[in-house]
Each structure stands twice: as C-alpha cells, then as structure tokens.
C-alpha cells in the first residue's frame, strides 16, 4: 500500500479522534480495524508515533495534507470516507469533527458528495 496514503490516513484519523476532546472506546476499536484493514506496517506506525509526539495539531494536520497530496483521487476518497464513517462511529457527530472533515476535504480538492457516496457504497470499511 502507498506509504503516503497510510501516513495521511493515520494523521487525519488521529486528529479526528481527538478533535472533540473525547476519545470513545469505539473510536479506538475503529483505529485498530483501520490499522489491520489497511495493513499498516510497524515501521509506518513507528514513524507516525514519532512524528506525533512532538508536533502540534496544526503541524500534524499540515503533515497529513502533505501526504494526502501524494495520493491518487481514489486514495483520497477512501481516506475521507473512512473519516466520514469514523465521525459517526460513537453515535454522535461533533461540530469540530464536521469542521475538520469539511475543511480537509476542501483542501484536498475532493467533493463532499463523492465522499458520502463512496462511504455509502462501502459500508463495511470499519467493520
């Protein structure tokens, strides 16, 4: 799998999980599923963990978007669809999650309706 895809995904998932100030157990379980389903290697995880340890949220966001810019449109759609599903996983969608998702989608040049359609077409992404 594309290294930039995996690192972009990890950065944005990390930010989405923490943006509302509450880390729900369902979000952490989904993160484990994402790591498994995307076959994220230990060296990629280690690189991400090292990066996030000394960076601000803004820096992590910028790094995530840098990785995203190296992804195909299909990979971008998959990342944002995963984030879209993740935002709903705890049974409530916080306004900060919506803002992060919409702003990221716009920054990546992807249409929100395409993200929703992709997510609905792939309902088992986090199961």
pTM to 2 decimal places: 0.91
Query: Residues 1, 39: contact at Cβ < 8 Å?
Result: yes
- Which range of residues forms the domain containing residue 16? 3-121
Task: Answer whether residue 45 is part of any domain.
Answer: yes
Total of domains in the chain: 1
Rg (CA), the chain: 13
Task: Answer whether residue 126 is part of any domain.
Answer: no
Give the model confidence (pLDDT) of 96-115 as tens digits: 999 999 999 999 999 999 99
Give the model confidence (pLDDT) of 4-47 as tens digits: 999 999 999 999 999 988 888 988 899 999 999 999 999 999 99
Residue 125 above 70 pLDDT?
Answer: no
Q: Report the candidate in 92, 74, 116 with the shortest Cα–Cα distance to residue 19.
A: 92
What CATH number does the domain containing 7 carry? 1.10.3680.10
CA distance linking residue 74 with residue 88, whole number of Å: 22
CA distance linking residue 80 with residue 65, whole number of Å: 12
CA distance linking residue 30 with residue 13, whole number of Å: 10
Task: Answer whether residue 7 is part of any domain.
Answer: yes
């Amino acid at each position: 799998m594309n290294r930039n895809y995996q690192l972009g995904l990890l950065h944005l998932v990390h930010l989405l999980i923490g943006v509302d100030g509450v880390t729900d157990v369902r979000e952490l379980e989904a993160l484990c599923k994402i790591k498994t389903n995307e076959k994220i290697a230990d060296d990629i995880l280690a690189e991400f963990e090292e990066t996030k340890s000394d960076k601000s949220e803004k820096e992590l966001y910028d790094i995530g978007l840098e990785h995203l810019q190296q992804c195909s449109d299909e990979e971008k759609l998959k990342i944002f669809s995963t984030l879209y599903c993740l935002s709903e996983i705890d049974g409530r969608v916080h306004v900060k999650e919506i803002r992060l998702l919409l702003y990221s989608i716009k920054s990546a040049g992807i249409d929100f309706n395409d993200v929703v359609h992709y997510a609905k077409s792939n309902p088992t992404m986090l199961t």
